[in-house]
Amino acid sequence: MKVSEARQLIQIKAPVLSRRRRVLAHAFNVAEYRKAARKVLPTGIFDYLDGGSEDEVTLRRNRAVFDAWALMPSWGPVSGPATATTLLGKVSTLPLTLTPTGATRLFHPEGELAVAAAADRAGIPYGLAGLSTVPMETIARQQPALERWFNIGLTADGRALQDKLARCEAAGFHTLIVGVDTRALGSRERDLHNGFTAPPALTLSTIADIARRPAWWINFLTSEGISFPNLDPRSAAATSVITPSMWQDILGHSDATSGWKELEALRQAWQGKIVLKGCVNPADVAKAARIGVDAVQLSNHGGRQLDHMLSPMDVLQESRQRVGDSIEIYVDSGIRRGSDILKALALGADACSIGRAYLYGLVAAGSEGVERIIDILAEELRRTMTLVGVSSIPELKARGGEILRDIRHSGEMPATRVSGEMK
């Protein structure tokens, strides 16, 4: 071989010094962003993001359920494929939304603003958490074109509800995501072991952690304190920096006495769209449809609440059968691959929603990291659609039954899976 030919084979690139740039250049899937996020965050914060409740059975199940379905391609021409779809009457570039995750500024100083900007660039809806750390008005001002949804809990306090609805309306959050899976706070035992508090209390172990994760600590200590400006302004946590004991109160607070009556009242009071989030019981899905919600987001809160709870994929077909096409159905909890989205749509979902996946991107590379996670899932979805032989989302939904085979009882399902969540 001549020297000139050999030279063409050698590709020596200058080393990339910025960690963010390195991750963006070298992480190719959600699991690799998770690994990168783990290197950035103090252990207690990473475990708060990543962990599940009690024995984490549901957390593991959320990944394993996707293995129960195998793909059966059919041969024929494919064009595109086109991933655009309509969610609640608005065009979305993907059958994907970013689901609410509270306290996002714990993970990155730009918090929800960075996530909102990425969702806007990608052209998909973003659900802002009630426990978000950036005012909803700021998000509205900075991302006026973003399809913005807001997460509320049901309450019998009529005045607080009216105030919240008026605020959402004024800030252009026309879709409410009503969470119904936090009647009590799940016991996240990793948090108990780590003594997790927000803001992190200065203990001997946090001080040791500062040495290991200096960049996160510098960002954290030099940026504005964490508060929850989208809570009722009468609550102290809305405006002040929260103390560890307030954090417990906020997380544990949920009006467990609220139920269907309050949902009906909300339906009467709210002209916009309603997404009920956090049920997996097909009877509840059917009841919600009769009350007039616009969509149900099947969810077990990413395995963070009731351990041993069913996963959305376990109940998706039955839920769809119960409601027909009368409402939209979304699926969250465990989505890490484009093929997961394809499988959920083939079984009857209209869209999937991600939580931890975009947070890993945020931690590792800020807003660009969130956008990259969305791009990765979009690329994986397009590739999987092409390989199974479908050209569009409507075709995928119509032909879903031909594409999937249930292999739960065929002995083909691997006993264990290398899961992103497993330690």
Instruction: Give contact residues for ligand FMN (rule: CB under 6 A).
Output: 49, 62, 99-102, 129, 131, 151, 179, 277, 299, 301-302, 304, 332-335, 354-357
Helix (H) or strand (E) holding 387: helix 356-388
Nearer to ligand FMN, 366 or 389 (CB): 366
Task: Verify whether residue 253 is a known catalytic residue.
Answer: no
Nearer to ligand FMN, 69 or 228 (CB): 228
In whole angstroms, give the CA distance from residue 194 to residue 182.
22
**CB 238, min distance to ligand FMN, A:** 15
Nearer to ligand FMN, 270 or 358 (CB): 358
The residue from 253, 301, 308, 409 that is catalytic is 301
- In order of 81, 142, 168, 281, 400, the CA distances from 145 in angstroms are 25, 9, 15, 34, 32
Nearer to ligand FMN, 351 or 390 (CB): 351
Nearer to ligand FMN, 275 or 365 (CB): 275
**CB 129, min distance to ligand FMN, A:** 4
**CB 359, min distance to ligand FMN, A:** 6
**CB 40, min distance to ligand FMN, A:** 15
Count CB neighbours of 223 within 10 A: 13
Residue 125 in tokens = 């809806």
- In order of 50, 88, 308, 331, the CA distances from 376 in angstroms are 20, 24, 30, 18
**CB 173, min distance to ligand FMN, A:** 14
User: Pick from 101, 95, 139: which is nearest to 120 by CA?
Assistant: 139
User: Pick from 60, 34, 57, 64: which is nearest to 343 by CA?
Assistant: 64
**CB 125, min distance to ligand FMN, A:** 13
**Burial (CB count <10 Å: 0-12, 13-18, 19+), residue 109:** middle
Length of the chain: 423
- In order of 41, 71, 337, 387, 399, the CA distances from 384 in angstroms are 32, 9, 10, 5, 14
* Contact (Cβ atoms closer than 8 angstroms) between residue 109 and residue 88: no
Calculate helix-pair angle for 30-40, 19-26, nearest 10 degrees. Answer: 160
Nearer to ligand FMN, 126 or 270 (CB): 126
Residue closest to ligand FMN, measured at CB: 355
Active site (catalytic) residues: 301
